[in-house]
Amino acid sequence: MKKIKVGVAGYGTIGQRLADGVAMQEDMELVGIADLAPTLSLQALREKNMVGANGITYKLYLVDGADKAAFAAKDIPVAGTFEELCKEVDIMLDSAPGGVGAQNKANYYDKYGVKAVFQGGEKNAVADVFFHGYANYEKGLGADYLKLTSCNTTGLIRAVDCLDRKVGIEKVAITIIRRVADPGDYHRGLTNALQMEKAPSHQAVDLMTIMPHVDATGILVHTPVTHGHIITVLATAKDGKKITKEMALEAFQAHPRIRVVTLEEGFKGNASFFKYARDLGNRRGDMYEIGLWADSIVESGNDIMFAINIPQESVTIPETIDAIRAAMRMQETREEGTAATNRYLGIGAFKKA
């Protein structure tokens, strides 16, 4: 089988995890990664002799404006230019800072016929399809440019789509308790404060773009923590139908990318998932699944309310891999596409245990 050739533009928090994710896919080849400056992440990669996930060597290409001498000063080997990388790949995962993706598209992707999957920081207009692996896989089939939902929206849609396919959802109201920075961030932060955003939150609006039959709104509050967002969701079924706790729990437990846990097991909050992923020995202490507390599920009249945990650094990786599968028509259905991604990433294995 010919492997799909993939590049990753931007080796930041998301980009390095995308590279790892691609490196795990046996039907894909990670041609290379691209970046602008010799960041800590690239210094770490060099310390490991450029060997990343799955024992794969990551070749580094420099984007326009990069200072080659700065890389040499840190002994980081360079394989070529971003343009050269573009010539080699079938599809680019673009996780460059917001706005740069649009430039890359204009300068290179169009020129070399490279498909691209953009991350949440890019404007919707950059893409033909606003994509989520579980909610609208079919829309991505054969598309040239796809944009992934952001981390909160990706995790939220997993849960809402899961319920929707079981009982039919017509309305959701969400409260996003957002982590404000990632571990190791110093350029943004919040100290002893909860910060409000103007409502409705963009995540609710984005959900409606992906799932237009659902009415969504919500409020977002920033909190001074780093290990995962928590979202509470109140979901209303169509036609006045009641959703019981049992119905919801059954749906969530069957979903490969939702990890149902309890307080009793020791999952006391967002940091428990991070600790658990570290203890699992997961690379970077990452988790691909969202968490869902069984103890949080409560009925509100006919509606159902529950809380999920979003591992912000890694949650979009599986759906981005799904996007490659859809765009390259590697699999024609959401079931096959997501199943392939899950198999290579080891997602859902614990469900059988």
Task: Please give the positions annotated as active site.
Answer: 151
Please pick, from the candidates 10, 21, 133, 228, the single residue that binds its own copies as defined by CB under 8 A. 228
**Nearer residue to its own copies within complex by CB, 274 or 344:** 274
Among 53, 78, 247, 339, binds its own copies (CB under 8 A): 53
Q: Using the rule CB under 8 A, which residue among 2, 65, 192, 246 binds its own copies? A: 192
Question: Which of 5, 222, 255, 257 forms a contact with its own copies (CB under 8 A)?
Answer: 222
Binding window for its own copies (CB under 8 A); candidates: 119-127, 177-185, 249-257, 317-325: 177-185
Query: Radius of gyration over alpha carbons of the chain, in Å?
Result: 20
Q: Are 108 and 61 in contact (CB under 8 A)?
A: no
Q: Does 191 participate in binding its own copies (rule CB under 8 A)?
A: yes
Q: Is 206 helix (H, G, I), strand (E, B) or coil?
A: helix
Where does residue 164 rank: exposed (0-12), middle (13-18), buried (19+ CB within 10 A)? buried
Taking CB under 8 A as the binding criterion, the range among 91-99, 155-163, 186-194, 319-327 that sits at the site for its own copies is 186-194
β-pairing, 258-261 vs 303-310, is unpaired
Check: CB of residue 80 under 8 Å from CB of residue 61.
Answer: yes
131-to-17, 146, 287 alpha-carbon distances in Å:
19, 6, 21
The residue within the footprint of its own copies, chosen from 7, 15, 52, 121 (CB under 8 A), is 52
Using the rule CB under 8 A, is 253 a contact of its own copies? no
Neighbours of 186 (CB within 10 A): 6
Q: Which of 8, 135, 207, 230 binds its own copies (CB under 8 A)?
A: 230
The yes or no reply on residue 271 touching its own copies (CB under 8 A) is: yes
Does position 270 interact with its own copies (CB under 8 A)? The reply is: yes
Q: What are phi and psi of 176, to 5 degrees?
A: -100, 120
**CA pair distance 232, 300, nearest whole angstrom:** 13
Residue 272 touching its own copies (CB under 8 A) = yes
Task: Rule CB under 8 A: say whether 19 interacts with its own copies.
Answer: no
195 is an interface residue for its own copies by CB under 8 A: yes
